[in-house]
Amino acid sequence: MKLQNIWFVVLATKINFYLLEYSLKYISRYKYKNIFIVLIMSTLVALLASTFFLSNAMKSEYNKLISNYPDIVVTNQQALRDTTINENSSYKILEIKGVSNVIPRVWGEYYFLNANKKFTILGKDEYEMYSNPLLNENLNLTKDSMVVSLNVKRILEDSYYDDYFNFIKADGNVKKMLITSVLEKSTLINGELLIIMNKESAKEIFEYSKNEVTDFGVSVANKNEIPFIAAKIKTIFPSAKITLKEDLKVHYENIYNLRSGFFLTVFIISFFTFFIIIYDKATGLNSEQRHEIGILKALGWRVGDVLNTKLYEGIIISLLSYILGIGLAFIYVYVMKAPYLKKIFLNNYSLISNYNINFSIDYETLALLFFLSVPIYIAATIIPSWRVATLEADEVMR
């Protein structure tokens, strides 16, 4: 016989089925009270579990997006405002030991008046080596063609731009761009309203001069060296703003934590409620329950038997509500994709407005919620009964 089966047999012989039956009867005797407790506890577990599941899914999505970002971004500043930078000065950064690549990036936003939306325009050179796999693909962009994301396509279609779009330049002239294909899913930051086009065309729309670019994305081979290289770039361009990938991560985490403050409030309130229930249960039994224990003792039950029935009662109720709560949270987050709750995290200014919720079992959350609910509830049922059961039978019934 396998070891696991032996353990099962040992456990089964240890369970006193008469006492188990008694505790089941006991639960059914106080039907409405116990149903209410299961309801409250499972709702609390479900509420907490679904917020944890959702926030973890979102965090992993953020991290995936940021992992494709360049290690250091160098933005030129004039009067502490972001301006463009000369493409040729990227060679100065390339001369630094440890830098593996510098990409002069051309990107920015275009305001589409009709729909009151800002499109993110990204210039791409066909042969440059990007850290993002999406940009490394050959998109076959010509001077008058662009690739748009699904949301941009929809917005343009609402304004009857089915297969092309007219960008209005600063001098009032129109630049006509054909839509060659649509991106179903993007792996870029600000990827929701994204337009990818040739670097030259993007420069034309932004009215950049020949050597002007928006900023430099610097890749570093040995991640250990990033702070040193950032310091060196600062000496070459004293007025430039240097953003590390780590800083960006912190920045987005801050935005996100602002919202998770809301969940902290939910967390505190729900646990406060839960502990009120527990406190109420733990401070003492009512006279009916005390009498019952007294009668059982008078009938000859030992203290251990009484505690066993209480243990079974606690396990059945808390485990049932825990499993129910987690199951509800799983269905809500992973099957229904968390409607309403998702909207709390998101607004128009957030990094991503429609992220995927990938299924993953988050053992940490499961364990946290288990230890916060099940053992505490069991203890709250056993301890007051133990206090009563250790007294003499006549003293209890008096």
CB of 270 to another protein, least distance (A): 39
Decide if residue 101 touches another protein (CB under 8 A). yes
Q: Binding to another protein by residue 95, rule CB under 8 A?
A: yes
We find the least distance from the C-beta atom of residue 175 to another protein, in angstroms, to be 19
> Which residues ranging from 123 to 142 are in contact with another protein (CB under 8 A)?
126-129, 138
Give the distance, in angstroms, between the CA of residue 325 and the centroid of all CA atoms in the same chain.
19
From candidates 17, 32, 91, 160, binder to another protein by CB under 8 A: 91
Residue count, binding to another protein (CB under 8 A): 20
Binding another protein by CB under 8 A: which of 102, 121, 156, 388? 102
The yes or no reply on residue 224 touching another protein (CB under 8 A) is: yes
Reduced to 3 states, what is the DSSP secondary structure of residue 83? strand
Is beta strand 117-124 parallel, antiparallel or unpaired with respect to 194-198? parallel
Single-letter amino acid code for the residue at 394 = D
Q: C-beta of 63: minimal distance to another protein in Å? A: 19
Footprint of another protein on 291-320 (CB under 8 A): none
Query: Residue 98 or 304: which CB sits closer to another protein?
Result: 98
Residue 228 or 330 with smaller CB distance to another protein: 228
CA 161/CA 158 separation, integer angstroms:
7
Q: How far is the CB of 129 from another protein (least distance, A)?
A: 5
> Which lies closer to another protein via its Cβ, residue 70 or residue 294?
70
- Between 61 and 246, CB nearer to another protein: 246
Helix (H, G, I), strand (E, B) or coil at 367: helix
Distance between first and last Cα of the chain = 53
For residue 261, the surrounding DSSP H or E stretch is: helix 245-282
Residue 165's alpha-carbon distances to 146, 161, 193, in angstroms, are 9, 6, 14
| Nearest CB to another protein, comparing residues 99 and 285 | 99
* Per CB under 8 A, 201 contacts another protein: no
DSSP element (H, E) containing 181: strand 174-183
**162 lies in the binding site for another protein (CB under 8 A):** no
Measured CA to CA, the distance from residue 292 to residue 397 in angstroms comes to 9
Of 93, 54, 48, nearest to 70 by C-alpha is 93
> Is 318 strand, coil or helix?
helix
Residues 98, 284, 304, 375: which binds another protein (CB under 8 A)?
98
Neighbour tally for 256: CB within 10 Å: 16
Rounded to whole angstroms, the Cα distance separating 82 from 102 reads 19
Near another protein by CB under 8 A: residue from 225, 246, 253, 305: 225
Residues contributing to the site for another protein (CB under 8 A): 91, 94-95, 97-102, 126-129, 138, 221-225, 228
